[in-house]
């Protein structure tokens, strides 16, 4: 079956511009997660959704970052007024229910480059 998909696969933008990253989770998965992976760094948790609600937004680096999920499916991560330090690979993952018991299935990621 179809896995987690993300778009675009690559995004190059200029400093100060806004970007939107999209994630399509596996159908039926209620939990969805966003991570950021910088070169040589581990996965940095950003936010997770249980259904359409985001109980934990503590990982978002600043108020320039926001995310939403609609219909319990597609999620969008928005970065406003991008900065060079936002350059990274943004990974999305989904799981059947909640993190405590379920395996996460990752998408291929979106590589964001801020010039």
Partner 1 sequence: SQKIEQNSEALNIQEGKTATLTCNYTNYSPAYLQWYRQDPGRGPVFLLLIRENEKEKRKERLKVTFDTTLKQSLFHITASQPADSATYLCARPTGGYQKVTFGIGTKLQVIP
What residues make contact with partner 1 under the rule CB under 8 A? 4, 33, 35, 40-43, 45, 48, 55-56, 58-59, 91, 93, 98-100, 103-109
Minimum CB separation from partner 1 for residue 81, in Å? 26
Minimum CB separation from partner 1 for residue 24, in Å? 13
The smaller minimum CB distance to partner 1, of residues 19 and 34, is found at 34
Both tokens of residue 43?
């996965």
Please state the length of the chain.
Answer: 115
The smaller minimum CB distance to partner 1, of residues 80 and 87, is found at 87
DSSP codes joined into one string, 42-73: -EEEEEEEETTEEEE-TT--STTEEEEE-TTS
Minimum CB separation from partner 1 for residue 100, in Å? 4
> Rounded CA gap, 73 and 20, in Å?
16
42: how many CB neighbours lie within 10 A of its CB? 9
The smaller minimum CB distance to partner 1, of residues 82 and 104, is found at 104
């Amino acid at each position: 079956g179809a896995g987690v998909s993300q778009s675009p696969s690559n995004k190059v933008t200029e400093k100060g511009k806004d970007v939107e990253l999209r994630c399509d989770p596996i159908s039926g998965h209620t939990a969805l997660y966003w991570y950021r992976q910088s070169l040589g760094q581990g996965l940095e948790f950003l936010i997770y959704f249980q259904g359409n609600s985001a109980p934990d937004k503590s990982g978002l680096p600043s108020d320039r970052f926001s995310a939403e999920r609609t219909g319990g499916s597609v999620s969008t991560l928005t970065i406003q007024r991008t900065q060079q330090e936002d350059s990274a690979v943004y990974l999305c993952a989904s799981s059947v229910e909640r993190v405590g018991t379920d395996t996460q299935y990752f998408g291929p990621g979106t590589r964001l480059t801020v010039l």
